[in-house]
Structure 1
Amino acid sequence: MGNSSSSDRTGLSERLGRFSSTEQAGLLEVYNALVRLNTETGLHDGFGLHELQEYTTATLSRPMVNHLFRGFTFALDDPKETGGREVKVARNAESTVISKKLFVAFFDAVLWGNMEDRGRVVCGMAGSDGDGVTCRQDQMQQFMVELIEAGMSTLRRRLLLCGWKEEYMAMGGIGRLAASLTDGLASGIRPGEQLPHDSDKATTNYKQDFGRDQIGEWLFRSPLVIDILILVVTSALQLTSLDPNVRASMVNKESTCCVKLPYCEGVDWNDLDNRNDGSGAARRCKFLLDLPSVLWLSSHLPSELRKKWRLLFSSALHGQSFSGLCSKIVAEGPSLLLVRDTDGYVFGGFASCSWELKPQFQGNNLCFLFSLDPVLNVYTCTGYNDHYMYLTHGQQTIPNGLGMGGQHGYFGLWLDCDYGKGHSRAKPSCTTYGSPQLSAHEDFNVACLEVWALGEPALKGKGLDGRSVLDADPETQAILEMVGKSRHSTGLREPHEEE
């Protein structure tokens, strides 16, 4: 791009100063490697699209390389800084050269930028045509699909699947996550807030135009998007020192990055590999989760519950029994409940504390309901009541089953003790969570049921006051015996001081 002006040199120095010396060295090493690839064209002060394609041929798809290149060209948009030339040339990919300043400014914007910086870059990346001032909704959704695909490929390539095996997981999550994120941009909501009830009828059919400011605000509300982008671009250019997870580990801090799968525990993959249908043919068990859904659900959880997920119950593995379900999930700490009905809808709830067998409602306002298929959405507490969680079995005068939200007979999500039956009665919405009907039909039949414990294993048998449930609630003790929950602490526990 010719000789840089004094203001250009100052701007580059300031931006480089936001990176550590190790990160600066990594950035300049990659930039110089890209520049060296363009010796045939005689351009020694930058690199072009061809060089970027060659450098990332093993790490990025061709569409994603094009998005990344456009992102570089929109890293700066102030004619006072660029002399007008870089921005003007950036509109023609064939003749554009990415200078050192643009290269550093891109990573500065993505990693540390404000809403304006990030909105400008992502708007430019998503728009396959035009001047990067606006982006159509269909362009943004396609960009989200390609970005999430690149994120999943990056996790595989870097061996960051954390024990999950995709061949045993659900399919189709990329498109649903892309649609959900784009719907959030179209409706202007935060993750975890409710979309309008008619939004499930495909908000993404609307051909809206999004401006940079609108996109910047959306990225602030949706950290998962920018986290996936950071993972993809730093990995593709072999700048892993800029990965937030790596940076946090180097200074012994907890990473706030959403693009980190929890470790999968409690699944005997060898046993699944050896299962057959009796005729010798393999019968592959499919869990209800897919990797994009795991990332999406994890991003809505408290950080301490994102590290480990442990399978507690699967109807495909443990049988179809309500008492069996209770015996697996009681006193196991926070958990995710997932249901697939016989119409193929997948939905569930987050229980923020251990399930307890008792005739009262339990839980707190961290609980939420969610849907995974056909749409991704989270429904958080409205504050109308505290009917967060409910679990009873063997009672004579009240309904027996598992429920979340609403009231007796009208739960947002209900699983009857007569295993296989349930309902989601929410007209117009669940009073506790504001959720619409989650299942295909108000009354549904269960096709598959799973429960995953979240975080570190709970201190078994302890109530909220630290006392053993064997001391605190004799009725619960009797119910636990009835459903087959082992009482390993009986005869071994220390008596409470009041005894």
Structure 2
Amino acid sequence: VIIFARMAIIVHYVARKDTSSDIKCLSSFILSMMRAVTSAIGVILPLKRYSAKLQIFLFSRRKENVWLDEDDFSDISSIQAEDCVQIDDVWNVLKNQYLLYGGGNTLGVVDGDFGLRPVLSSPLIAALREKLPYALSNDRFWMKYSLLRDGASISSLYQQVGGSMYTIIAIESSDGYIFGSFTTQPWRMNPGYFGNRNSFLWRMVQSRHTPCTSLTEQAALESDIDIFPATGKNECFQFCSKDKLAVGGGKRIHVDRYGTKKLKNKFNGDDSLGLCIDRTLMIGTSTPCSTYMNPCLAGESSKDGSFAIANIEVWALTPCKTIGEAEQMESFTRM
């Protein structure tokens, strides 16, 4: 990357005297090669978060048609847009990264889906990938279900994700909080809990509505996540019925500065569910549970742990390169 950066600087100084289209084409080629190298870094080295930020920065420079100075490469994180970054501008960049630069090895996301703004952005995928079991860390993220794309039907959700062993649920609340789960057994109707302790709950630390002044700042926001692994205190990992889908359970043992509080609501009665989604897919709840010892994932201001769902996605993890190959592999696992 440094070598290509230096090459871009040299071409820039030449371009000050020679404004021919050949020089500009050469500069564009060098920047494209830099993007390709940083994409490779994101796959083969544990630098995925930095790689995602660098790719967003590089694309923003190309989008704005800015000729780079040497100082631009001294501290990438210090470069900001002239105005406050709007979320739609950020998603235009993320759309380009998904469709042209691999999108963190994603399947099932097409051009039309970006009018819906997927919950999982490229920096967020890179951050989650670092927390997965090593055997899955290079798998592709396959969008199996999206509420905005496929409609609010829990039966449709079950039908589309039922054959997937490893899945990530990603929820965006109406307040802009992003959170979800990673689970390790196919979702299926069951009278009791199932799954195993390789699962976890996760959340983005700050709301996506947090103002950002640059694309790199937005990438940093999307990359900052908390992980809540299984504690081993119980085996309440996954629950699936016609009325709700839940991850984590057990009696509430969370203690705050006001003492232990026991939460009752229409979703879970006396029990505490780490993450619960109502059959309407419009509302849910998140409360501290002994399975993962998590806080409320939907933000501090959430009353009784409840939240309104703006969008929900379920992503499967697959080693396959195409959807056709992935579907064929899942057909064998269902037998």
Shift of 1:378: 0.7
Change in CA separation of 1:371 and 1:321 when aligned onto 2, cut-off 3 Å: same
- Counterpart of 2:107 in structure 1 is 265
Does 1:316 find its partner at 2:148?
Answer: yes
Change in CA separation of 1:267 and 1:153 when aligned onto 2, cut-off 3 Å: same
Change in CA separation of 1:387 and 1:156 when aligned onto 2, cut-off 3 Å: farther
- Counterpart of 1:91 in structure 2 is none
Change in CA separation of 1:149 and 1:353 when aligned onto 2, cut-off 3 Å: same
- Aligned residue for 1:386, secondary structure, equals coil
2-structure distance, mates of 1:450, 1:329: 10
Contact kept, 8 Å, 1:359 with 1:392, in 2: the verdict is yes
Contact kept, 8 Å, 2:168 with 2:180, in 1: the verdict is yes
5 Å-filtered alignment, 1:14-29, equals: none
5 Å-filtered alignment, 1:176-187, equals: none
Change in CA separation of 1:290 and 1:339 when aligned onto 2, cut-off 3 Å: same
- Aligned residue for 1:369, secondary structure, equals strand
1-structure distance, mates of 2:294, 2:94: 26
Change in CA separation of 1:367 and 1:155 when aligned onto 2, cut-off 3 Å: farther
Does 1:402 find its partner at 2:245?
Answer: yes
Shift of 1:168: 7.9
2-structure distance, mates of 1:264, 1:148: 14
2-structure distance, mates of 1:381, 1:353: 15
RMSD value over aligned CA atoms?
3.4
Q: Which amino acid aligns with 1:403?
A: A
- Counterpart of 1:443 in structure 2 is 306
Out of 292, 297, 301, the residue aligned to residue 128 of structure 2 is: 297
Shift of 1:166: 5.2
1-structure distance, mates of 2:277, 2:332: 24
- Counterpart of 1:138 in structure 2 is none
Identity %: 23
Change in CA separation of 1:155 and 1:364 when aligned onto 2, cut-off 3 Å: farther
Give TM-score scaled by structure 1 length: 0.39
2-structure distance, mates of 1:311, 1:382: 28
- Counterpart of 1:150 in structure 2 is 54
1-structure distance, mates of 2:105, 2:296: 31
2-structure distance, mates of 1:155, 1:307: 25
Provide Cα deviations, 1:173-223, integer angstroms capped at 9, x if missing partner.
xxxxxxxxxxxxxxxxxxxxxxxxxxxxxxxxxxxxxxxxxxxxxxxxxxx
Shift of 1:149: 2.9
Shift of 1:331: 2.1
Change in CA separation of 1:56 and 1:403 when aligned onto 2, cut-off 3 Å: same
2-structure distance, mates of 1:330, 1:425: 26
Shift of 1:388: 1.0
Change in CA separation of 1:313 and 1:383 when aligned onto 2, cut-off 3 Å: same
Provide Cα deviations, 1:233-256, integer angstroms capped at 9, x if missing partner.
xxxxxxxxxxxxxxxxxxxxxxxx
Shift of 1:451: 0.6
- Counterpart of 1:388 in structure 2 is 237
Provide Cα deviations, 1:269-294, integer angstroms capped at 9, x if missing partner.
2x447xxxxxxxxxx22001222111
- Counterpart of 2:279 in structure 1 is 417
Change in CA separation of 1:147 and 1:453 when aligned onto 2, cut-off 3 Å: closer
Contact kept, 8 Å, 1:169 with 1:287, in 2: the verdict is no
Out of 163, 169, 188, the residue aligned to residue 356 of structure 1 is: 188
Contact kept, 8 Å, 1:348 with 1:413, in 2: the verdict is yes
Change in CA separation of 1:383 and 1:299 when aligned onto 2, cut-off 3 Å: same
Change in CA separation of 1:288 and 1:462 when aligned onto 2, cut-off 3 Å: same
Change in CA separation of 1:290 and 1:419 when aligned onto 2, cut-off 3 Å: closer
Provide Cα deviations, 1:436-455, integer angstroms capped at 9, x if missing partner.
11013111111110011101
Change in CA separation of 1:267 and 1:436 when aligned onto 2, cut-off 3 Å: same
- Counterpart of 1:92 in structure 2 is none
2-structure distance, mates of 1:321, 1:423: 18
Change in CA separation of 1:322 and 1:148 when aligned onto 2, cut-off 3 Å: closer
Q: How many residues align?
A: 215
Which protein, 1 or 2, shows the higher relative CO under an 8 Å CA cutoff with sep ≥ 6?
2
Shift of 1:146: 8.0
Shift of 1:460: 2.8
Change in CA separation of 1:391 and 1:169 when aligned onto 2, cut-off 3 Å: farther
Does 1:378 find its partner at 2:227?
Answer: yes
2-structure distance, mates of 1:329, 1:401: 15
- Counterpart of 2:199 in structure 1 is 367
Q: Which amino acid aligns with 1:405?
A: G
Out of 117, 128, 134, the residue aligned to residue 286 of structure 1 is: 117
Does 1:452 find its partner at 2:315?
Answer: yes
Task: Note the residue ranges of structure 1 that are not aligned, 5 or more in a row.
Answer: 1-26, 31-51, 60-144, 158-164, 171-259, 274-283, 394-399, 469-499
2-structure distance, mates of 1:303, 1:422: 31
Does 1:167 find its partner at 2:26?
Answer: no
1-structure distance, mates of 2:196, 2:184: 7
Contact kept, 8 Å, 2:239 with 2:247, in 1: the verdict is yes
Out of 154, 159, 165, the residue aligned to residue 333 of structure 1 is: 165
- Aligned residue for 2:92, secondary structure, equals helix
After the TM superposition, which parts of structure 1 deviate over 4 Å for at least 4 consecutive aligned residues? 52-56, 145-148, 151-157
Change in CA separation of 1:156 and 1:301 when aligned onto 2, cut-off 3 Å: farther
Out of 114, 130, 139, the residue aligned to residue 307 of structure 1 is: 139
Shift of 1:376: 1.5
Contact kept, 8 Å, 1:168 with 1:286, in 2: the verdict is no
Provide Cα deviations, 1:103-151, integer angstroms capped at 9, x if missing partner.
xxxxxxxxxxxxxxxxxxxxxxxxxxxxxxxxxxxxxxxxxx9886335
